[in-house]
Structures are given as structure tokens and as C-alpha cells.
Structure 1
Amino acid sequence: MTGKPNDPSSHQGEHIVAQEGAQLDFSRSMSYGDYLQLGAILNAQKPLSPDHNEMLFIIQHQTSELWMKLMLHELAAAIAAVASDELGTAFKMLARVSRIMEQLVHAWDVLATMTPPEYSAIRPYLGQSSGFQSAQYRCIEFALGNKNAAMLKPHAHRPELLAQVKQAYESPSLYDVSLQLLARRGLALPPSHLQRDWTQPYATSDEVEAAWLVVYRNPREHWDLYQLGEELADLEDAFRLWRFRHVTTVERIIGFKRGTGGTGGVSYLRKMLDVVLFPEIWRLRTQL
């Protein structure tokens, strides 16, 4: 039963309702939607086809780009931290990057619900747009050491994007700064791998492997470097899964058709599975 008009509990209830009503008024302060700019984000999906499934395709790729933005944010900070010998900070960031990659792996499960006929209905509306044109993805590849000058060309028509990708292309990778750190700690590394043309693909070195072996055979003496090696292994492991899931999802949806951007599609993606980012980290395991 409700309280009587003069019942104190009745007045208290009215006060609570009025107070809650005031708290729900965000006209004078920042709301959840304001802070996250949800108006812009939730209105950024503009399907070009009449097909129902295009919304899935758009949101899949837009959310992936958001995760990649965070990944680049963390990678840049991790590279700077390793270069400054702040490994505790770097480990936290690298672990986060690996978890982001796991999130992206699971995102392919959602896109895999799109069947070949459903994709065929929207494909004519995609023009020459393709995932390999993603500037952020290219920056991730470059930051992890997979340098390829040809991958600058897809961004030549957008000067601001080209500048962003080119900076990543010309900068030392995560592995480059990790090797410099090993050298600063007194481990023997070849000069060719410490100061070089950062735009060139990384070349595997027996001397680099020997340096990492010193770390892995004496983990207590080189504990933070040992942990760095394992963070790199975790990162590449997660990246391989991301690439592999990409290949299987594309093959499931389009088979062996050529990609919309002109690549070989699945054949191109399968070649990427053979790329090893931190080769000595994997090779040394045979020697232990």
C-alpha cells in the first residue's frame, strides 16, 4: 500500500523519485552517448546495396578498424618503452595487443555466418575496395617488421594516409628495438642488425639466434629479456591465428575468386601465412 498523504515515508518516496528524475536529466552535462560520440559512430554505416547482410559486412570491418586503432596505439607505446628500457610497461602493452588480436580472431566467426550467395549480392557494390588497402593494418604489419615497399602504393592517392604508412615503413620495428635492447645489455649482436635500413625486410641471423639462446639458457640471469622473448612469441602466435582465420573465412565465403582489390584472394592470403616476424625466437626452441 502507498503511504498516507501525511505519512513521512510517502514524502521520502516522492523525494527519491524527484532526485532520480534529476539524475536522469543530462541536458546540462555530458552523457554516455556524448562521451563516446555514438551519434557519429552509429550513423557511420551506409549500406550501398539493398541486401540485408551488408550491415554485417560493414560493421565487421568498422569494428576491426577500431580494434586496430587501439592496437597501433599500444604498439607505438610498447616500441617506445622497449627503446627506453621500460620493459614492465612494454609487457603490459604487448599483452594487450595479443588480446586484441584474439578479439579479432573471434570476429571472423561472426562474418563466417555470411554465405556465398549473401556475399555475392553485395560484392558488385564494393567496387575495388579491399582489406589489403587498410592503412592501419599496413602500419601494424610494418610495426611488426613485415616491410614491403609495394604496400605503400594502395595509399598513394591519399597523402595523409600515405604519410602515416610511410612513417611506419621507415621506422624501426618492435623486433628491431628489441635487438638493440639486447645489445645494450651486453649480448653480442651483429652491427648489420642494429643499424640498418629499416625499410628492408628483416634477414634471419645465426648471431641473433645465438644471443637469444644466451637469454633462454639463463632465464634467471636475463629474466626481463626472457620475458620479452615470450611476449614476442605470444604476439606472433596471436597474429598467425588472426591471419589463418582470415584465410579460412574468405575461402568459406568466396572460394578462390580474385579479391575485389585485385589480389589473388585466398592465394594471396595463404602466402602471408608463411611470413615469420621474429624468426630467431622460434628457431632457438630447437636448440634448447
Structure 2
Amino acid sequence: MAHDKYVTYAGYLHLEELLSLQQEQSGVDGDREHDEMLFIIIHQVYELWFKQLLHELEFARGRMDTDDMPRLLHTMQRILTILKVQVAQLDILETMRPLEFLAFRQRLEEASGLQSYQFRELEFILGHKRTSVFDRYPAGSDARRRLDARYGEPSLWTAFVRFLHARGYPIPTEDLERDVTAPTEPSAGVQAALVRLYREDPQLVQLCERFVDLDEGLQEWRYRHVKMVERTIGARPGTGRTGGADYLRKSLNRPVFPDLWAIRTDL
């Protein structure tokens, strides 16, 4: 059956809808602040990249279930490339000077990047799970349903540990059967398997090193985020009644794959 009309670039991408979503609050009851458009677009782009990262991390987890190493390594490289782009976007945001942000900041009211449920989903799939996150999302909301579902899924690291077991590496039973809602914790048994892996299997070493690259990239993103906030608002509290840079600084130097860092001394 023939289509009634051809697919167009604008129609395929829903450009009319997409380009209507940048609505500055500063223009509602006064003069528009020039830099608010940049602020909105940067954060909307972040949310789109978060969506793609979740898509890729889910795919990577599935490739471990099927032992598809070529696609798994390729997907991990794509994830790392996206993360580099996200870090680079902070360079654009830092072109906004403090006075330019303060000119519209009060219009954000309680809105805060900490309310990004997709970022919390990313934390969950990477193993940084904790119930305190749920306090920001009302029961029954779409965001809460998404987070509840993600909370109950195996993390990327849990899938990797099971993948190693399927490959014949001796993983302790308690690590294979650990509660998937628990945050990732270091394991001496997993570390012993990883040391053996690094000495025996160059292909799996490539995968492990991409996990390390991902962990390092996340820490770089957090550090750049903190410095951007300090540069823009100094020691002021953050939006949404958060602690600003002091609050964000607490997340620095917290690895998501601690076993891969712990074994460095033993290699």
C-alpha cells in the first residue's frame, strides 16, 4: 500500500514540535534574557543524550547475556564517545557568565537538575542504587514508575559478574545471588577473578578497560559539573534548595566499578 505522502526531514524528526519546546520563563512577564535560551537547549540536549545512554547501556547489558563480544565492545565505545560529548557541552555552558545566569535564575523556582529522573536511571543501571532518590518523585508519577522499574533491574556490573561466571571464572555464590537493588560494593572474590582475567584473556581486558574509561569519564563529568557551578554561582545554594557546589562535590571520586580500581595494585 502506497503512502499518501512522502516522509520529510522535518516530519521524521518532528521539528515543529521539537523547536517549540524552548520556552523562556523570562519572557512571560518581562524582557527575555538572552542566555536563557542557551540554558534551556543545553539541558534539553543533555536529556536526549541521557536517553541514548540508557538505550546503549541496556543494549550492552543484553550483549553480555548473549556473549556477543564484538557488539558489546562496539557499544561500550559508543557510550564513551557520547560521554565525551556531554563533558564538552560544559564548555558551551561556561560561556554564560554569572550575571547572565543570575538574571533569570530566580525564575527556575524549585526546578533543579537533581530532579532529572533519567540521570537517576543512569545511576541505577550503573549500580549506584539507594532509596533516598525516590523522595523527589511522587508515588504513581511516570518518573517514579520508571525509577521503580530500573531499581529492580540488574545493574551493568551485576550483568558483567554473571557474564564472567558464564565464561568460567570462579565468582562467589554470594556475588551471583546478591540483591539486585543493593548498591555495588567491592568483592574480594570478584577481584580475584579479575586479576586472573587480566593475566589470561586480552579480549576481556579490553572490555574491563572500557568499563574503567566509563568510570573515569563519569568522574570527569562530575568534576567539570562542580567547577561549572562554582564558576557560575560561587558558594550560593543550588536551585531546588540544594547545596549547590558543596552538594555536588560529595559525589566526586566515587567509582561505580570499585573492583576494577582495587585490583590495580595486584596486577
Report the TM range for the smaller structure's normalisation.
over 0.9
How far is the alpha carbon of 1:158 from its aligned partner?
A: 5.9
1:232 to 189, 206, 211: 211
Tell me how far apart the structure 1 counterparts of residues 167 and 249 of structure 2 sit (CA, whole Å).
38
2:11 alignment partner in structure 1? 34
The 5 A counterparts of 1:65-214 are: 65-156=47-138, 159-214=141-196
Tell me how far apart the structure 1 counterparts of residues 191 and 5 of structure 2 sit (CA, whole Å).
61
Tell me how far apart the structure 2 counterparts of residues 259 and 158 of structure 1 sit (CA, whole Å).
27
Secondary structure of the residue that 2:241 maps to in structure 1?
coil
Structure 1 outlier segments of 4+, above 3 Å: none
Q: How large is the RMSD of aligned CA atoms in angstroms?
A: 1.4
Secondary structure of the residue that 1:237 maps to in structure 2?
helix
- Alignment partner of 1:46 is 2:23: yes
- Alignment partner of 1:253 is 2:246: no
| 1:200 partner letter | A
Q: Tell me if structure 2 keeps the 8 A contact 1:233–1:281.
A: yes
How far is the alpha carbon of 1:57 from its aligned partner?
A: 0.5
Q: Tell me if structure 2 keeps the 8 A contact 1:182–1:225.
A: no
Report which stretch shifted further, 198-207 or 68-77.
Answer: 198-207
Unpaired segments ≥5 residues, structure 2: 27-31
Scaled by the length of structure 2, what TM-score is found? 0.93
| 2:107 partner letter | Y
How far is the alpha carbon of 1:262 from its aligned partner?
A: 2.0
Unpaired segments ≥5 residues, structure 1: 1-26
- Alignment partner of 1:244 is 2:223: yes
Q: Tell me if structure 2 keeps the 8 A contact 1:95–1:235.
A: no
Tell me how far apart the structure 2 counterparts of residues 108 and 187 of structure 1 sit (CA, whole Å).
41
Secondary structure of the residue that 1:179 maps to in structure 2?
helix
| 1:80 partner letter | G
Q: Tell me if structure 1 keeps the 8 A contact 2:151–2:181.
A: yes
Report which stretch shifted further, 271-280 or 154-163.
Answer: 154-163
| 1:33 partner letter | A
Q: Tell me if structure 1 keeps the 8 A contact 2:219–2:253.
A: no
Q: Which has the larger radius of gyration?
A: 1
| 1:272 partner letter | S
